[in-house]
């Protein structure tokens, strides 16, 4: 069965960010994600990961410093800011032994033709992948739904994501497949996962509607999760959901998986 990683940006929010690594470990997770860990010093995170025998499996590039920013990789006028954030992400990933960085495309800039924004995105992906490569880090891109969560997000379809991968042509650049976003935008999840598996470097889950825990909505995770094994996916599955009540109360669906997984798996 899949290896589950708790997303510390959406789960265990009952406690401050610094305490969420320990909370995830206590709940039985062997892996964790964090969208933006930058408020906590990397050395502190690294020490906690060692003490707790946790693997940090994913972080994001910084979203940007302006209100409403959702990433900068597709914004031609903010190249210097993107590069600074990318370097910060790589420095963090190296310090905490995190093997994946989601390079956030961000919103399409106002009055910027989509073609120009996509050209900038692809150029920045090449730079990001090449910066990550010497450290054994995989750069990821994620289509995000524009119907519910992030109107105006530049990258919102798997077709566009595959075209970006083709154009960038970097061996350590992969697709981050978020089941929640893809259910909203494209559906047909098992066929989609089967078709895209050769390009997938990471999977995330949440139910729809509401982006709550599996079992709270319309996605049949009791069917879908075992299919990942059948497809041969051996990576992490990030639980990027917002608990409908408390995090502990939301974990019923995962108890068996967490109990089956040996701590310290990578």
The structural domains of the chain, ordered by start, are: 3-260 (3.20.20.150)
Average pLDDT along the chain: 96
Look at strands 55-60 and 100-102 and give their pairing.
parallel
pLDDT at 74 over 80: yes
d(CA 224, CA 35): 24
pLDDT of residue 246: 97
Interatomic CA distance for residues 265 and 4, integer angstroms: 10
Is residue 228 within 8 Å of 200, Cβ to Cβ? no
* pLDDT at res. 256: 86
DSSP 262: P
| Tens-place pLDDT, residues 19-31 | 999 999 999 999 9
- Catalytically active residues are 142, 240
Q: What pTM was estimated for this model as a whole? A: 0.96
Predicted confidence (pLDDT) at residue 155 exceeds the cutoff of 60: yes
Average pLDDT over residues 151-169: 98
């Amino acid at each position: 069965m899949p290896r589950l990683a708790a997303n510390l940006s959406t789960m265990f929010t009952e406690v401050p960010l610094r305490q969420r690594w320990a909370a995830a470990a206590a709940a039985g997770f062997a892996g964790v994600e964090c969208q933006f860990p930058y408020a906590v010093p990397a050395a502190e995170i690294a020490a906690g990961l060692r003490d707790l025998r946790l693997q940090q499996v994913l972080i994001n590039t910084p979203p940007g410093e302006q209100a409403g920013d959702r990433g900068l990789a597709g914004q031609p006028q903010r190249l210097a800011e993107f590069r600074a954030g990318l370097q910060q992400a790589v420095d963090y990933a190296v310090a905490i032994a995190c093997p994946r960085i989601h390079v956030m495309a961000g919103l399409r800039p106002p009055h910027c033709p989509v073609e120009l924004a996509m050209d900038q995105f692809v150029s920045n992906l090449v730079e990001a992948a090449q910066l990550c490569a010497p450290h054994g880090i995989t750069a990821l891109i994620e289509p995000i739904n524009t119907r519910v969560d992030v109107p105006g997000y530049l990258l919102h379809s798997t077709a566009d994501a595959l075209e970006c991968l083709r154009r960038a042509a970097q061996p350590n650049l992969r697709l981050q497949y978020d089941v929640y976003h893809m259910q909203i935008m494209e559906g047909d999840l098992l066929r989609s996962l089967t078709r895209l598996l050769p390009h997938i470097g990471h999977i995330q889950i949440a139910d729809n509607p509401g982006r709550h825990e599996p079992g709270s909505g319309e996605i049949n995770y009791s069917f879908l999760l075992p299919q990942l094994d059948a497809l041969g996916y051996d990576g992490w599955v990030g639980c990027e959901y917002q608990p409908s009540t408390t995090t502990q109360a939301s974990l019923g669906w995962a108890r068996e998986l967490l109990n089956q997984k040996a701590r310290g798996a990578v």
